[in-house]
Structure 1
């Protein structure tokens, strides 16, 4: 972490995130339901109050429309309105003339409502101006009931959220049990138990693809670890042999030199030193090839330049192998041609490895063919073909492994240390391609496919 930077918040576990999201969704869902219940109940109360006002309006119109029931004219009219309000303490009535003079009730002796709903209307009269009527209904009890309902619904929503959240936490904990089981299986893996695989039989369908991919990764790791162990053994073998030879020959030369001071003794020492120089060159070649493979494994790209003719490049490499081909009784043919952007020195090296390999195993008197074929996607295939015994499929699958030789006797040990085809595979990958190898019907074809830039 950079100095002065704020520390990042630790990531929450999947269980806590799912539980919190479930709690929030439960609160939102229950809150929405409770709000709808409250609004529907409040609307029902309002509609009931409006209906009560409309019913009283009809009665009042009938009472006030007659001359006898005029509240300002006769006591009989005021008595009729008193009878109308009798037993309806939740109503208040006020009747005024058109000019604002209040004629009923004569005095406002009743206490006003804390919360009321009112209705205003006019009553037309044939012999006088219309009367202005104000009718109020007390809604305080309904409002108190709505307030209690709101509190009850809010508490119910919170309680429901708590219950659902606790249940969700338990369910999430149980639902993640397969993940914990898989983690327990992975903790048992080590470098010595890479052959084991995760058991996905009891896993849910959502985790089975992950188990399959993890098992596939374990397979690749097991193979890579086995190759690394074999690689270390091969490196030790390849380096120990020339080093042992150098040590033994130098000790022998020194002993002879100490006993024999004649010119012949000096000649034998020179011969020993010359042989040691060959071994040193061989060691240098092994180290150089290993460094090249290391660079290729780290993703070093090919240095591409325009190449007008791959057939001309193959012909240059063939000239270098002309003497070896003649000694083996072989001829070389270049078939096909292509152009593109390639790393010419790397192609020289790959073709040289392929032609050298074909020269060692081709039947005497046959022809080695370098086949150059353009690929449909824009790439090029370079394959060296020779006639000889078929290569076993197990050997064919390991041809491009490091320090692998098809002949266990290592008959070509002084000139071939088992990295040629591995380097060819690295050159193919540096060009964005791959290697190919087939052997059937007495024809062995080994080469590489190069992708165009």
Structure 2
């Protein structure tokens, strides 16, 4: 498909528009001039007819044809562009014609009803030579055609130069856009140097660059984190396998080695499963909402699953508030399980883990609160990032691969909600919001 040029397209349309406009104006000028000539010719016919009327009136009483012809000859001899014949009934009283003159003759006949000559009504027949007027009209027509054509060509030429000048900012924008990208992180196009019509597009492009750079940085960090997380269990499995194969081992030792390998394989499988889920959520997957369920009941069901962990640390689970909502029960329980597991892991022994459920118009809030060491304020904004651990030295951090809270954030997004985290005065509060789909 042939590429269109804005410059040539605008120049062509400028020329077409100018030609159309000038053509209409020229046609109007030509038509007005021709109409003016027609009015002038009608006025001349009327003036000559009045003169003939006056001469006939003077010579009819008593009838004097010689005097009539003499007076008309005196007048029309000085008007070679007009012929006249005068009739009274079937008798021709007067006839004047320039036989040696060739041209375009216009005829006009008029009966003088109020005048008679020898008892017969007088009829005047005039012919007017319009050769001069036709010549002027032809010259005017060709002049107007030339003016319209020349004007269109001039406008097309100047329009092309103006369009080329006007498109320079686009060429500059194309050059700056070509220079933007990962090779120059943080580089943006200066909006103020361009016209106001281009500024919204440039701001959108700058915003797109920001999102692309963020995604690119996230992808690089993600690849590094995945490689780091998978490298450790794989290295352990390889090293242990090499040791076991290096010399004969009893059945009990091999069974223990296989159990260790199975544990590492389960960890790898969990990482891969969680990454597949996050990939699906990042592509915009939405939660499949079921019939309305009690959020408190779902918390109790998840709490029963973590009952052994709660008893191990002498923790109690308290649920405050309730609400009924259309949710994906499986995803909701997974998010609650991750939050409870996180709270149990870092809660002070013999304390309370509290789940607070609140409703604010069309938004529902589920927060899990535990007592324990405060989270560094600098780490709070990163808690929901992939493979992020607020404090790797904290108990149990090495046995988890850092995707639990990331999955909570993904489930919240799939329900049209967000996440939040605060830590102050020995209380850590982490949770998410859910949007009411029926609102």
Cα deviation, 1:127-166, whole Å, max 9, x if unaligned, reads 7333122333222211221111111111111111111111
Q: Residues of 1 paired with 2:105 and 2:375: CA distance?
A: 102
Q: 1:103 aligns with which of 93, 113, 132?
A: 93
Note the residue ranges of structure 2 that are not aligned, 5 or more in a row.
Answer: none
User: Do the aligned partners of residues 63 and 330 (structure 1) sit closer, same or farther apart at CA in structure 2, a change above 3 Å counting?
Assistant: farther
Q: Contact 1:381–1:450 at 8 Å: present in 2 too?
A: no
Q: 1:219 aligns with which of 210, 217, 224?
A: 210
Decide which moves more: 325-334 or 194-203. 325-334
Decide which moves more: 119-128 or 313-322. 119-128
What SS does the corresponding residue of 2:115 show, helix, strand or coil? coil
User: Do the aligned partners of residues 73 and 188 (structure 1) sit closer, same or farther apart at CA in structure 2, a change above 3 Å counting?
Assistant: same
1:337 and 2:322 are equivalent in the alignment: yes
1:301 and 2:286 are equivalent in the alignment: yes
Q: 2:187 aligns with which of 190, 196, 220?
A: 196
User: Do the aligned partners of residues 313 and 124 (structure 1) sit closer, same or farther apart at CA in structure 2, a change above 3 Å counting?
Assistant: same
Match of 2:127 in 1: 136
List aligned pairs for 1:236-275, cutoff 5 A: 236-255=227-246, 257-258=247-248, 265-275=250-260
Q: CA deviation at 1:440?
A: 5.6
TM-score of the superposition, structure 2-length normalised?
A: 0.89
List aligned pairs for 1:49-198, cutoff 5 A: 49-68=41-60, 74-97=65-88, 99=89, 101-105=91-95, 109=99, 113-116=103-106, 118=108, 120-125=110-115, 128-198=119-189
What SS does the corresponding residue of 1:116 show, helix, strand or coil? strand
Match of 1:446 in 2: 431
Q: CA deviation at 1:245?
A: 0.8
What SS does the corresponding residue of 1:249 show, helix, strand or coil? helix
Cα deviation, 1:232-257, whole Å, max 9, x if unaligned, reads 010001000001111112222233x5
Q: CA deviation at 1:335?
A: 2.8
Q: How many residues align?
A: 435
Match of 2:21 in 1: 29
Q: CA deviation at 1:179?
A: 1.1
Q: Residues of 1 paired with 2:350 and 2:19: CA distance?
A: 87
User: Do the aligned partners of residues 67 and 379 (structure 1) sit closer, same or farther apart at CA in structure 2, a change above 3 Å counting?
Assistant: same
Q: CA deviation at 1:388?
A: 4.8
Q: Contact 1:384–1:447 at 8 Å: present in 2 too?
A: no
Decide which moves more: 53-62 or 116-125. 116-125
Q: 1:359 aligns with which of 332, 344, 363?
A: 344
What SS does the corresponding residue of 1:334 show, helix, strand or coil? strand
User: Do the aligned partners of residues 365 and 29 (structure 1) sit closer, same or farther apart at CA in structure 2, a change above 3 Å counting?
Assistant: farther
Q: Residues of 1 paired with 2:375 and 2:29: CA distance?
A: 82
Structural RMSD (CA): 2.7
Q: CA deviation at 1:451?
A: 4.4
Q: Residues of 1 paired with 2:146 and 2:55: CA distance?
A: 48
TM-score of the superposition, structure 1-length normalised?
A: 0.87
1:412 and 2:404 are equivalent in the alignment: no
Q: CA deviation at 1:65?
A: 2.1
What SS does the corresponding residue of 1:50 show, helix, strand or coil? helix
Q: Contact 1:438–1:445 at 8 Å: present in 2 too?
A: yes
Q: Residues of 1 paired with 2:195 and 2:136: CA distance?
A: 50
Q: Residues of 2 paired with 1:23 and 1:362: CA distance?
A: 80
Q: 1:17 aligns with which of 9, 13, 16?
A: 9
Cα deviation, 1:61-99, whole Å, max 9, x if unaligned, reads 2112234489x85111112122221121122223233x4
Q: Contact 1:94–1:135 at 8 Å: present in 2 too?
A: yes
